[in-house]
Structure 1
Amino acid sequence: MKQALDLYCRLLEALCALLMLGMVLLVFGNVVLRYFFQTGWLISEELSRWMFVWMVFLGAVVALREDRHLGTHMLVARLPAWGRQICLLIAQVSMLGISWLLLSGSWSQFLVNQDTNAPVSGLPVSYFYLSGVVFAASAMALIGGALLRSSADLLFGKRVVNQH
């Protein structure tokens, strides 16, 4: 399972790099065209915005997998080990619930916007909201697995919560 998750995250990292490259090429190319040739690509702004949103959501999955999101440890670090584990469980259950809200909302927007096209590119706007679906589903799988491990650790007496 770990190998599959590692492969998935490497794929997401590669997609993020490609999206970043695409954004740089679109925006820089548009700047050059406007400055030197007094013209530009109409599609540049729209596509670069879509690429940015997708890159952020895909990168957030990788950050979640690597436990790289911001955290506040000032209070939690002062708790005993069992208190840190309880706080971790509360945080994981909360994140799972919030991810569910994001998934259901993004899926609703995906369905609502299937017949709506973007003004310049003509792409279905639903593809924009699909990024939230991909993130939320991936996050729920990652958080769910972490929640199961944390629950088992608490039940069986393992002390695995780091003190930062």
Structure 2
Amino acid sequence: MCGDVECIDKKQQNEYFSKSLSLEVKLNKNKKYKSLDLIEINKVDNKEKKNNIKILPSEKDKSKKNELKKKKFELKQKKKQLKAQRLKERKNRKEQKKLLKNKNKENQRKAKKTKPFIPSLDTTKNISKGNNICSVIEECDIDVIASQIKQRGKIKKFPDIARD
């Protein structure tokens, strides 16, 4: 029991227990016991009581039955509403996850596109360390540099185009 009303499901029961730290249990009074007492069965009084049949149920019985039916119907309606709410929440969560994934993908694409090209340090070092003729010769005269380049060109072999 959750207060004055029966608990709809286990989740509601746990919520109520966590708030109030008390739990009420409803016992079923209509429960039939499997063990029977033979003495009571064989009594004449019991047989006569069983033979007395009520022809018309009283109004109290009818009203109690109607109330029970209404309570059961209300419980079923509450269960349906809770299920519908849970389904909506699940759908909303899934949609939010999809939106977050799409936003993350778009952000990653933008980040990849917006990265500027930064040359690596190795290429800049090679360029700066290149063979500088002026560093070999003490005087950087154009005529001396031209003669050095010609000598290096004579030493080099021509490329073999026919070779694969």
TM range (shorter): under 0.3
- Give TM-score, length-normalised by structure 1: 0.26
More helix by share: 1
Greater RCO, 1 or 2 (C-alpha within 8 Å, sep 6+): 1
**Who wins on radius of gyration, i.e. which is larger?**
2
- Give TM-score, length-normalised by structure 2: 0.26
